[in-house]
Structure 1
Amino acid sequence: MFATKGTKKGGGLLADERLKTFLVVVRCGSLTQAAKELYISQPAVTLQIHKLESEYNTALFYRRERGVELTPAGKMLYDYAQRIDRLYEEAAEELGALTGEMRGALRIGATLTIGEYVLPPIIGTFKSEHPHVDILLEVDNTRRIVEQVASGDFDCGLVEGPFDNGLIMAEKLADDELVIVCSPRHQLAGMAKIKPDDLLQEQFILREPGSGTRQVFEDALQQAGIDLSRLQVLMQLGSTQAIKALVTERVGVSVLSRWTVMEDTKQGTLCTVDVPGIDLHRSFRFIFRKDTRISLITRHFISICRKATACMG
């Protein structure tokens, strides 16, 4: 997770400390974790929640051994609290626009490739232009980012994998291509190109199920007529850096975004292998809830992303 100074998970610009605390507890699923996020004691978090429950004369959370879970009343309040929070942010945006100084918060969910390799310089540019906007960036796989955008946790998401969710609309950001990567000392490194069936002879280190990279690769293999059950998967990891390190050591081969291996191929620590007959092209996409207003801050962020990726690509 990346968060600029002053950002609070949930809560945003919300003035009511009780509702702000409530939103963070919901996001964290735990009073202890919420206390850490808010930099206050757990008893202080508990007190804020008790005040809300006393005011509405109803329990908002079920207390479980491993955290808390919203009651029906809690779910209702969560919906209203999110809307109130967004209204505060919209007011700050519009007032900031009048003075020429944008203020507010921007919550972004991004998949691993985009969050770790594409967004950092873009966020740097955005913050230099809008220093009073607080940014929260959370990185996860496509499945989780889509779920969290659909639930209203993020203002926008950026994903590279396929998904099916009727609450979400998508806009293309940039083109991407997956590549087969191996160590320069691997036997594939000396081959200009290989056949799709040749991949079945290799041991793969892949991203975890739910990853957009994993899904695009498997879909491409199936379209090429390759039985996925014959693919030798040695390991499944949620870290691109770990995968690259293992591939460099000849533990196996992998498939990764070309964006993630640009420097490695320039330095000669990794090699890419061409596989005609398998279409590994895909797109990076913005995703939003269909029924949610796209804020002024989000629109500025989208504009900076488009300019940056046009130059980077």
Structure 2
Amino acid sequence: MLDFRTETFLTVCQTMNFTAAARQLNITQPAVSQHIHFLEEQYHTSLFLYRNKQLSLTRSGKILYKHLLTMKNDEKAIMEELKSTYSGIETLSIGVTMTIGEYAIIDKLANFLIHHPEINIHLHYGNTSELLNLLESGQICMAVVEGNYPKEDYSHQKYSTEDYIAVCAASHHFLKDHPHTVKDLVEERLLVREKDSGTRNILEQSLTARGLRISDFIHYTEVENMHTIIGLLKKDCGISFLYKIAVENELHSGILKEIPLDDFKMQHDFDIIWEKNSIYTDKYLSICEEFI
């Protein structure tokens, strides 16, 4: 079990306030200060800076936070592993983004479940940002993400590489005949995912590289569900940019069509990620081999 002073340090890192940390831990503020001072003495370094009434982590504090948080989450995993020795059943919590969960993981997940009846899976859905928070809090042990994330902070394996395309209804008539570039589409109604969605983040970065923004589209509709976007595309309610894997059936059947653009040919990796330096890295790599 991690030292109680470690728990104090992690709580201060999360609240960035000694008083709030004391309240959350149900101890006094002087006790919080004492615990932090003990750790600074033990590690021979300053962990926090206090400037302009604002608390922040030093470089050493950031390093310690990252490693102690991983140790805390590994401890949770150890407790779950010990429980499984009695029941013979292991629980694996995995996070997935909406696109991956709905279109890219079902076959591989089914195959994994068939070959591992001793494992219960808890599948969490969320955008990339939400899944990173779940990893940090230890609520999931792995995540399969489509959006961008700080790769240097996580261990990761490529899950797949997917085409990212412009799409519309097969019968769609463009306001500007024969569009050849993304800019030619700004008069169309854009169907787009919500902010912080991995699918949207990729689009925003691609538009930025071309000097454009989502707000440059005269009309746009923000939708928090990929099925709804696809349904609206089928009804010819606009255009969208999304992963080809999400509309393969509709493209194959001729209900939807890809919009060929001279300046938009894009692919993006889906990655499996977990906490860096986890003692369970070998186990997670083994799981990756079955999913990839």
Distance in structure 2 (CA, Å) of the matches to 1:298 and 1:111: 18
Q: Assess if the C-alpha contact under 8 Å between 1:155 and 1:294 holds in 2.
A: no
Please give the secondary structure, in 1, of the residue aligned with 2:150. Answer: coil
Q: TM (normalized to structure 2)?
A: 0.69
Please give the secondary structure, in 2, of the residue aligned with 1:201. Answer: coil
Please give the secondary structure, in 1, of the residue aligned with 2:250. Answer: helix
Distance in structure 2 (CA, Å) of the matches to 1:179 and 1:240: 14
> 1:273-312, aligned counterparts within 5 Å?
273-294=259-280, 298-306=284-292
> 1:210-225, aligned counterparts within 5 Å?
210-225=196-211
Q: Which residue of 1 aligns with 2:248?
A: 262
Q: Deviations over 1:16-48 (max 9, x none)?
A: xxxxxxxxxxxxxxxxxxxxxxxxxxxxxxxxx
Residue 88 of structure 2 is aligned to residue 88 of structure 1: no
Residue 126 of structure 2 is aligned to residue 144 of structure 1: no
Shift in alpha-carbon separation, 1:302–1:188, aligned structure 2, 3 A? farther
Residue 130 of structure 2 is aligned to residue 180 of structure 1: no
Shift of 1:193: 6.2
> 1:43-192, aligned counterparts within 5 Å?
71-72=24-25, 83-91=74-82, 103-164=89-150, 167-188=153-174
Distance in structure 2 (CA, Å) of the matches to 1:144 and 1:231: 27
Shift in alpha-carbon separation, 1:213–1:243, aligned structure 2, 3 A? same
Shift of 1:148: 1.3
Please give the secondary structure, in 2, of the residue aligned with 1:251. Answer: coil
Please give the secondary structure, in 1, of the residue aligned with 2:162. Answer: strand
Q: Assess if the C-alpha contact under 8 Å between 2:73 and 2:137 holds in 1.
A: no
Shift of 1:200: 0.8
Residue 221 of structure 2 is aligned to residue 235 of structure 1: yes
Aligned length: 231
Greater shift in the superposed pair: 226-235 or 147-156: 226-235
Shift of 1:194: 2.1
Shift of 1:90: 3.6
Shift of 1:229: 3.2
Shift in alpha-carbon separation, 1:296–1:105, aligned structure 2, 3 A? farther
Distance in structure 1 (CA, Å) of the matches to 2:70 and 2:180: 53
Shift of 1:221: 1.4
Instruction: Kindly report the root-mean-square deviation, in angstroms, between the aligned alpha carbons of the 2 structures.
Output: 3.3
Shift in alpha-carbon separation, 1:122–1:79, aligned structure 2, 3 A? closer
Unmatched segments (≥5 aa) in structure 2: 1-22, 28-68
Distance in structure 2 (CA, Å) of the matches to 1:181 and 1:296: 40
Shift in alpha-carbon separation, 1:305–1:232, aligned structure 2, 3 A? farther
Please give the secondary structure, in 1, of the residue aligned with 2:105. Answer: helix
Distance in structure 1 (CA, Å) of the matches to 2:115 and 2:26: 41
Q: Deviations over 1:31-72 (max 9, x none)?
A: xxxxxxxxxxxxxxxxxxxxxxxxxxxxxxxxxxxxxxx922
Q: Assess if the C-alpha contact under 8 Å between 2:70 and 2:277 holds in 1.
A: no
Higher gyration radius (CA): 2
Q: Assess if the C-alpha contact under 8 Å between 1:176 and 1:258 holds in 2.
A: yes
Q: Assess if the C-alpha contact under 8 Å between 2:100 and 2:145 holds in 1.
A: yes
Please give the secondary structure, in 2, of the residue aligned with 1:71. Answer: helix
Q: Which residue of 1 aligns with 2:232?
A: 246
Please give the secondary structure, in 1, of the residue aligned with 2:184. Answer: helix
Shift of 1:180: 0.9
Unmatched segments (≥5 aa) in structure 1: 1-69, 97-101, 307-313
Please give the secondary structure, in 2, of the residue aligned with 1:187. Answer: coil
Q: Deviations over 1:226-274 (max 9, x none)?
A: 2443123521111111000011111111111111011111112211111
Percent identity of paired positions between Structure 1 and Structure 2: 22
